[in-house]
Amino acid sequence: MTREEVSVAPQVQLKRWTTALMVLGGVVPLLIWGGQWLFLLLCCTVVVLCELEYERLSGMAVRRGTRVTGIVAALSMPVGAMAAGERGLMMALVGILFFRMTLEMLGRAQLDGVLQDLGTRMVGYIYGAMLPSYFVLIWRIPDGTRWILLTIAVTAIGDTAAYYAGSLWGRHKLRPRISPHKTVEGALAGLAGNLLGGLVCAALFFPGRLTTVGLFLPLAIGAAGQVGDLCESMLKRAAGVKDSGGILPGHGGVLDRLDSLLFSAPVVYYWVAL
């Protein structure tokens, strides 16, 4: 949005903030008090919505039966991650690859386009199912709930800072061919917001690790999140759509809201695990 759009569209801003607060109001208590099965249910719901939105973006012609089997396959990733951690997630991914290639081999009458279709579907599984499942992996590690809250807070504060700073003061386009409204000034403000959020969360959750958790990790989260944001914009630009969906008023689709988090979650998991 431009400076003029920010100033003349208070109803849009109200809708954005109302939706964001309602989502956070449901997710945060569930994270803290919901337990294993409710958290897994949340992740499975996110995976289903992400897969449906990716299907729309990719332009795949999917029959109803194929869609059902595809969603079941995608759900094996968060379930595998909860049951057996990183090993379970990798087993699910390999199983999906075997499953998809076998289906193509048995059911495809013509071989034209088989590589493109397989590639499109596998990217969808990795992007829409595997990346959200990293939140399950984070949940399983010690203090996992705190790490998830830190990831969400750092990413959200950075996204908000980038959005408003870029709208009001942005002059230099960051990647105009992919996302015309994103600016270098917004990206830098986003990293500053990530850093601020990281320092606050580190002080609250990990006071003995202020330097690594409060300084270095937020910058890694911010950099990964901005790449994720641009990559989702690339998919939308290629599909010729403004939003990945319309389920979240003022934000668009689930992928529009989670694009940064999908790339941030693996960074946090490997940072903590390694």
- The pTM (predicted TM-score) of the whole model is 0.90
Q: How are the residues of the chain apportioned to helix, strand and coil, as percentages rounded to the nearest 5? A: 80, 5, 15
* pLDDT at 64 (0 to 100): 65
Between 9 and 191, whose confidence is greater? 191
> Is it the case that residue 11 has pLDDT exceeding 80?
no
Distance from CA of residue 154 to its chain's centroid? 14
Q: What percent of the chain has a predicted confidence (pLDDT) above 70?
A: 91
> Is it the case that residue 15 has pLDDT exceeding 80?
no
* pLDDT at 32 (0 to 100): 84
Return the domain boundaries, the chain: 1-33+143-274, 37-140
* pLDDT at 27 (0 to 100): 84
Query: Contact at 8 Å (CB) between 151 and 144?
Result: no
pLDDT in tens, 51-78: 999 988 987 766 666 788 889 999 999 9
Q: Distance between CA atoms of 110 and 141, rounded to whole angstroms?
A: 46
* pLDDT at 195 (0 to 100): 96
Q: How many residues does the chain have?
A: 274
> Is it the case that residue 222 has pLDDT exceeding 90?
yes
Tell me the average pLDDT of the chain.
88
C-alpha to C-alpha distances, 232 to 95, 165, 235, 264, nearest whole angstrom:
26, 21, 5, 13
